[in-house]
């Protein structure tokens, strides 16, 4: 089924990356409190530490690292080029080169 979502304009790509609605969970473990999310339409994944408890924030999730390229197309696991905090330019380049409108 073809998705009607279009690649965001360059100026909106960083907002697309940061919007939690654009991330889909691919794997999660309550035993180790880890989750792997994939950015819709793109091969970017992230490793998330779930249920972190903080005196200031309470229970929340913490992003450990981003993988800017998946290994095998729709592979749900972490891929290559791990980045703790990718630059805005790097995010835009990845979105421009990896966007696939028919795959979320």
% of the chain with per-residue pLDDT over 70? 88
User: Quick one: pLDDT band at residue 103, thresholds 50, 70, 90?
Assistant: low
Q: State the pTM of this model.
A: 0.84
Residue 2: per-residue pLDDT: 42
**Res. 36: pLDDT tops 90:** yes
Q: For the segment 44-91, what is each residue's pLDDT rounded down to a tens digit?
A: 999 999 999 999 989 999 999 999 987 765 666 788 788 999 999 999
Rounded to the nearest integer, the mean pLDDT of the chain is 88
Cβ atoms < 10 Å from Cβ of 21: 7
By the 10 Å C-beta count (0-12 exposed, 13-18 middle, 19+ buried), 75 is classed as middle
Q: For 33-53, b where at least 16 C-beta lie within 10 A, e where not — what string?
A: eebbbbbbbbbbbbbbeeeee
- Residue extents of the structural domains in the chain: 22-98
Residue 40, pLDDT above cutoff 50: yes
């Amino acid at each position: 089924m073809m998705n009607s979502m279009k690649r965001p304009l360059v100026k909106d790509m960083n907002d697309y990356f940061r919007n939690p609605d654009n991330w889909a969970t691919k794997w999660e473990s309550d035993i180790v409190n880890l989750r792997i999310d994939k950015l819709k339409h793109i091969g970017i994944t992230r490793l998330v530490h779930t249920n972190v408890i903080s005196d200031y924030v309470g229970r929340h999730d913490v992003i450990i690292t981003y993988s800017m390229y998946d290994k095998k197309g729709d592979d749900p696991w972490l891929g290559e080029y791990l980045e703790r905090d990718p630059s805005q330019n790097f995010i835009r380049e990845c979105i421009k080169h990896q966007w696939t409108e028919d795959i979320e």
